[in-house]
């Protein structure tokens, strides 16, 4: 893997509608609240955690390789690590949302030009 060769790791959420996600990791009425499912392949780990009924959280990580669950909270260590490090991304997204690079104009030909040139 390119990331591991360059000593980079990945930890993030995965959308539930991805075709690559195994069926067992998707929402199911039979999954208990607080349950975790782990999947391992090569250097990649995927975890599905159910904090609320029919609302699993799916995360993928290249930095974790064990089924570690915190005894106090019952959450997988992958989720705790994600929650502790995701703040930087959220604050950058929030700051970027305040500023727009689009130009405001009342002349429709210029508005059309800038819309096409994006």
Average pLDDT, the chain: 82
Best CA proximity match to 14, nearest among 75, 66, 62: 62
- Give the rounded distance of the alpha carbon of 25 from its chain centre: 14
The structure's pTM equals 0.68
DSSP string, 39-60: EEETTEEEEEEEEETTEEEEEE
- pLDDT exceeds 70 at position 103: no
Give me the numbers of helices (H) and strands (E) for the chain, helices first please.
4, 4
pLDDT band for 20, please (50, 70, 90 cuts): confident
Using only C-alpha atoms, the chain has a radius of gyration, in whole angstroms, of 20
Q: How far apart are CA 37 and CA 49, in angstroms?
A: 7
Q: How far apart are CA 17 and CA 36, in angstroms?
A: 19
pLDDT digits (tens, 9 = 90+) for 24-47: 888 888 889 999 999 998 888 999
């Amino acid at each position: 893997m390119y990331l591991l060769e360059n000593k980079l790791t990945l930890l993030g959420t995965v959308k539930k509608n991805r075709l690559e996600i195994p069926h067992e990791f998707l929402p199911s009425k039979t999954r208990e609240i607080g349950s975790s499912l782990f999947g391992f392949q090569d250097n990649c780990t995927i975890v599905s955690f159910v904090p609320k009924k029919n609302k699993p959280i799916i995360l993928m990580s290249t930095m974790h390789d064990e089924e570690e669950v915190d005894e106090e909270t019952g959450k997988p260590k992958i989720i705790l690590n994600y929650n502790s490090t995701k703040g930087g991304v959220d604050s950058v997204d929030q700051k970027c949302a305040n500023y727009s690079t689009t130009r405001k104009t009342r002349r429709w030909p210029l508005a059309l030009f800038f819309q096409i040139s994006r």
